[in-house]
Amino acid sequence: MADAEAIKRVAQRIVAQKKAGHDVVVVVSAMGDTTDELLDLAEQVSPMPPARELDMLVTAGERMSMALVAMAIENLGYEARSFTGSQAGVITTSLHGNAKIIDVTPGRIQEAIGEGAICIVAGFQGVSQDTKDITSLGRGGSDTTAVALAGALNADACEIYSDVDGVFTADPRVVPTAQRIPQISYEEMLEMAASGTKILHLRCVEYARQYNIPLHVRSSFSQKPGTWIVSEVEESEGMEQPIISGVSHDRSEAKITVVGVPDKVGEAATIFKALADAEINIDMIVQNVSAVSTSRTDISFTAPKEFGKVAVSALKKVQEKVGYDSLRYDDKIGKVSLIGAGMRSYPGVTARFFDAIASSGTNVEMISTSEIRISVIVEEDQVDAAVQAAHSEFQLDADQVEAVVYGGTGR
Amino acid sequence: MADAEAIKRVAQRIVAQKKAGHDVVVVVSAMGDTTDELLDLAEQVSPMPPARELDMLVTAGERMSMALVAMAIENLGYEARSFTGSQAGVITTSLHGNAKIIDVTPGRIQEAIGEGAICIVAGFQGVSQDTKDITSLGRGGSDTTAVALAGALNADACEIYSDVDGVFTADPRVVPTAQRIPQISYEEMLEMAASGTKILHLRCVEYARQYNIPLHVRSSFSQKPGTWIVSEVEESEGMEQPIISGVSHDRSEAKITVVGVPDKVGEAATIFKALADAEINIDMIVQNVSAVSTSRTDISFTAPKEFGKVAVSALKKVQEKVGYDSLRYDDKIGKVSLIGAGMRSYPGVTARFFDAIASSGTNVEMISTSEIRISVIVEEDQVDAAVQAAHSEFQLDADQVEAVVYGGTGR
C-alpha cells in the first residue's frame, strides 16, 4: 500500500469480499517506504541498533497501515477492527528480526468475526512466547502471518495480494511468452519457491501445506483470478495434468569447489560440519573424481552469495585437517530448474531438458534432482537462454497453449 | 523530540542521570510532527475515523520514538528497554482519545530496572481495562503517564522536560520581566494550570499531589534547574514565603449571560442541569440583580469558547421552561488570575489586586475567588495590561526580585 488512495482501494476490495458473504480477516503490510524510512531513522540513531528495539520500531509500520485500513472500511459503512500481531495471538520464538511463528491463538479475532466485524491484522509481527516482547518475522513474514492465521481460523482460503497476477510458468522478464499457472500443487510451489520463484516465501507455502489451506496468489491491481496453490490440482475437462508446471531460475547463489579432497571416509562430513557450524545454508552438492589426482575427489556445492566469504573462511580453517588441495569460488553462476509433478511418471523429461539446454549452447556445470524437479547450474550469462529453451521445449509458451488458459479446452 | 539528532541528545541526558546513580524510567512523546502527520493520514482515509482505530494509529508515534531512544542509549553503552503503555501496565478507561488512567501495574518495568536497564515508556497511551484495546490519554497524556508511573514505582521525583525553563510568575510573552518560580505547591500549581498557565496539565498535577511525587519542570535544552512542584514549599533562609506566586491569564473562554431569569427557586438548577447534560464544563458563575426587572436576575458564566454554540443551543431548549428573557454571548473576554498560597493570611491582597487592575484602565466584568486565587474576567484586549499591572503590584518583576532568584537572599 503506497498512500491514502491505495488504502481506500484496498478497503473497497475488502468490503467487496464481505458483501459477497465471506467473513474476512485481512493481514496488512506497511505502507510504501515506511519500513525503509524507519530503518533509516534507526541507522541515524545507532550503527548497530539492538534487535529488540528494531522490532519495536519497524512493527509500528504495520500498526499504522492496519489502523488506516480499518478506518477506511468503517468509512464505507462496515465495521472493522484492527489487531497487532500480539493481539491477534501470533506467538513466536524470541529471535528478533527473524522470529518463527510457534502458535496462533486468535481468540480476539474469532470474537470480532462473531460480532460481524472485518478484522485487520498487522503482518510481519508477533509476540515472543518467553519474553512477551514484540517480534518481527523476517522475510515473507506478512504472507506467513496470513497463512498461519488462516490455518488457526480454519479459513476456506487465503488470498495473497501482490503486484503480480499470479505464479507464471517462468519469469516474464526472461520469457515474455510465460503464462499464469491457474493451479499448482503445494509441492510444486515449494520447489519453485526454493529454486528462485520469488512470488511466495518458502515458509508461507510450507504453512499452507501443513494446514491444507488453499492459497490464491493474485494481483491487488486487478480483479482477475491468479494462481491457486492447492493439495490436488483439479484435472480440467478430463485432460491430464501437464508434465511440467514451470521453469524457474536463481542468480543469488555462488558455487564453491573443494579441489582434491582425499578419498577417505568422513572427509565430506568434516567439510559440511564446518559449513553448518558457520550457519551456511547449502543448496546443491556434487562430488566428482578429481581432475588433480585419481585418489582424490572434488566436492562442489552452492550457497547464497551473501555467505560466500564466510563459507570460504570456514573451509580454510579445516584445510589442514581435511588435507584438500585448494578452493575455487565462482559467483558468476545461475541455477535453472524445471518443476512439474507430472515428471514422476515421464522418464524422458530429464533427457528432453538437457537436450533443450544443450541446443541453446549452454554448458551444464552441476545437476541435482528431486521427484518433481531437475536443476542445473550454468554460467550466469547463459541463464536466460537456458530458461527460454526449456520453457519452449515443454510447450509452456503462450502462443502454444493460449486456448488452455483462456478457453479452458486443453490441459 | 524533533529528529534523530534530538533523540541522541535526549539519550545523552538520560545516560547522565543513570551515571549519577539513579534508576531511570523515561516517558517519551512522539517525534516532531509525527502525530500531526498521522492525523492527517487518517483524515485522508476517513472524514470521521473511528476512535479505536485513531488510537491504534496515533500511538504508533510514541512507539517509534521510544524504540529510537532505547537504541540511542544502547549505542552509548547502557542497557535500555522500551515498553508500550500496555506493556508498562498503564491500565485505562476505554474512552478512546481521552482515556483516564485507572491503575498502573509496572511489573515489567520493575523487573527491567532490577536488571539494571533504563526503561523507556511510550507516553500518552495505555490499554483499556475492559476491552484490552489500545487507548490514548488525550491532552497532557505523556506528562500524566510520567507522574502515574512515578507514583506506582515510588519514584523519588518526576522530571518533566519541555521547551520552557519552568513555571514563570506570568507568561513571559506578556510580561517580559516575569521570572522562573523555583518552588511552588501542588495547590498553587493546580490553580495556575486551571487558570491558563499551559506548562502542565491539570491531571498531571492532580496525580502528583495524590501520590506526593515531587515534580521538576525544566527545559530539555539546558541543564538549568526549573520549577519544583512540591507539597510544602521550603522557606529559604528563614524568610517567609511570598504572598503571591504568579499571575496567569486565559483567553480560551467565552462569557454567556442568561438575562432576566425569574427569581424563583430552582431556575438556576434547571439552567446548569441543561448545560451539564450537554457536557459543558462551566468555569466561573456570577448572579446579579437584572437590569431588565427587579424581580428577575441575570446569571453569567464562562465556558471554553469551543463549547459556546453547544451551550447556547442547550440554553435555548430550556428558555420556555425557565422563562428567561434573552441570551448574551461574548467571546471577546479574558481571565486574569492572581495565585498565591500566602494570600490566605493577607486580607489586603484582593483590594491591591483590584486597585492595580483599575489603575491599568481595565474594567472588571466578573469575579471569582478561591482560598489561594482571585480571578477576574476583563475585555480581551485589556488582558495584557491587567496582567502587567498585577505582576508589578506584587513585586514579581525580575528587576525587583532578581536577588531572590539568583542570590537566594530574599523571599
- pLDDT tens track for B13-30: 999 999 999 999 999 999
Q: Is the Cβ pair B71, A45 closer than 8 Å?
A: yes
pLDDT at B237 over 70: no
Across the range A269-278, mean pLDDT stands at 92
Q: What pLDDT shows up at residue B330? A: 95
CA distances from A57 to A136, B50, B81, B83, B357 (A): 10, 24, 12, 11, 54
pLDDT tier at A163, thresholds 50, 70, 90: confident
Q: What digits encode the pLDDT tens for the residues A27-73?
A: 999 998 899 999 999 999 999 999 999 999 999 999 999 999 999 99
Percent of chain A scored above 70 by pLDDT? 94
Report percent pLDDT > 70 for chain B: 94
Residue of B238 and A3 predicted with greater confidence: A3
Inter-chain CB proximity B41 and A75 less than 8 Å: no
- Provide the mean pLDDT of chain B: 90
| Predicted confidence (pLDDT) per residue in A62-119, tens digit | 999 999 999 999 999 999 999 999 999 999 999 999 999 999 999 999 999 999 999 9
> Could you tell me which residue, B406 or B320, shows the higher pLDDT?
B320
Shortest CB distance from A75 goes to which of B46, B54, B70? B46
Q: Residue A262, SS3?
A: strand
- On the question of pLDDT at A349 being above 60, the answer is yes
Contacts of A15 (CB under 8 A, 6+ apart): A73, A76, A78, A118
Distance from CA of A86 to the nearest CA of B (A): 11
d(CA A101, CA A95): 11
What's the pLDDT band for B399 if we cut at 50, 70, 90? low
Domains assigned to chain A: 1-156 (3.40.1160.10)
Residue B407's pLDDT band (boundaries 50, 70, 90)? very low
- What does the pLDDT look like over B311-348, one tens digit per residue? 999 999 999 999 999 999 999 999 999 999 888 778 78
Task: Indicate yes or no: CB of B68 within 8 angstroms of CB of A41.
Answer: yes
* Interface predicted TM-score (ipTM): 0.78
Most confident of A70-84, B130-144, B256-270: A70-84
> What are the tens digits of pLDDT across the range A249-264?
999 999 999 999 998 8
- Residue (of B144, B122, B3, B8) closest to B60 by Cα position: B122
Q: B84 contacts in A (CB within 8 Å)? A: 134
Pick from B384, B386, B382, B375: nearest CA to B301: B375
Q: A65: nearest CA in chain B?
A: B57
The Cβ-side half-sphere exposure at B80, using a 13 Å CA radius, reads 32
Contact between B203 and B151 (Cβ < 8 Å): no
Closest residue in chain B to residue A120, using alpha carbons only:
B53
Nearest CA in chain A to B52: A81
Distances (CA, A) of B329 to A71, B290, B309, B344: 37, 16, 9, 34
Specify the pLDDT at position B243. 81
Residue with cell 464505507: A76
Q: Which among A226, A2, A9, A10 has a CA at the least distance from the CA of A120?
A: A10
Which of the two residues, B207 and A398, has the higher pLDDT score?
Answer: B207
Average pLDDT over chain A reads 90
Q: CB distance A82–B49 less than 8 Å?
A: no
Give the one of A46, A59, A132 whose C-beta lies nearest to B71's C-beta.
A46
* Test mutation, B12, B57, B86, B130, chain A, max A CBs within 10 A: B57
How many Å lie between the alpha carbon of B135 and the closest alpha carbon of chain A? 13
Residue A63 to residue B45, Cβ atoms within 8 A: no
Query: Are the beta carbons of A4 and B80 separated by less than 8 Å?
Result: no
- Digit-coded pLDDT (tens) for B276-311: 999 888 889 888 776 666 788 899 999 999 999 999
Contact call for residues A246 and A167 (beta carbons, < 8 A): yes
Smallest CA–CA distance, residue B124 to chain A, in Å, is 16
Of B4, B53, B82, the CB nearest to A45: B4
Q: What is the mean pLDDT of residues A358-368?
A: 91
Q: What is the predicted pLDDT for the residue at B135? A: 96
Pairwise CB contact (< 8 Å): A75 & B44? no
Residue among A2, A68, A391, A17 nearest A218 (CA)? A17
**8 Å CB contact of A68 and B41:** yes
Binned at pLDDT 50, 70 and 90, residue A142 comes out as: confident
pTM of the model: 0.81
Pairing state between β B80-83 and B118-122: parallel
Please give the residue that has the higher pLDDT: either B74 or A240: B74
- State the pLDDT confidence band at A410, using cuts at 50, 70 and 90: very low
Q: What is the pLDDT of residue B400?
A: 44
Q: Do B71 and A81 touch (CB under 8 A)?
A: no
Are B50 and A71 in contact by the 8 Å Cβ rule? The answer is yes
CB pairs under 8 A between A and B: 114
**Angle (deg, nearest 10), helices A202-211 and A186-194:** 160
Pick from B44-48, B99-103, B365-369: least confident: B365-369
Q: What 3-state class would DSSP assign to A222?
A: coil
If pLDDT is split at 50, 70 and 90, which confidence band does B124 have?
very high
Q: Give Cα B134 to chain centroid, integer Å.
A: 24
Cα A400 from Cα A407, distance rounded (Å): 13
Specify the pLDDT at position B293: 67
Whether the per-residue pLDDT at A403 is higher than 70: the answer is no
| Per-residue pLDDT tens digits for B39-67 | 999 999 999 999 999 999 999 999 999 99
Task: Using CB atoms within 10 Å of the CB of residue B410, give its burial: 0 to 12 exposed, 13 to 18 middle, 19+ buried.
Answer: middle
Residues of B whose CB is below 8 A from A72: 45-46
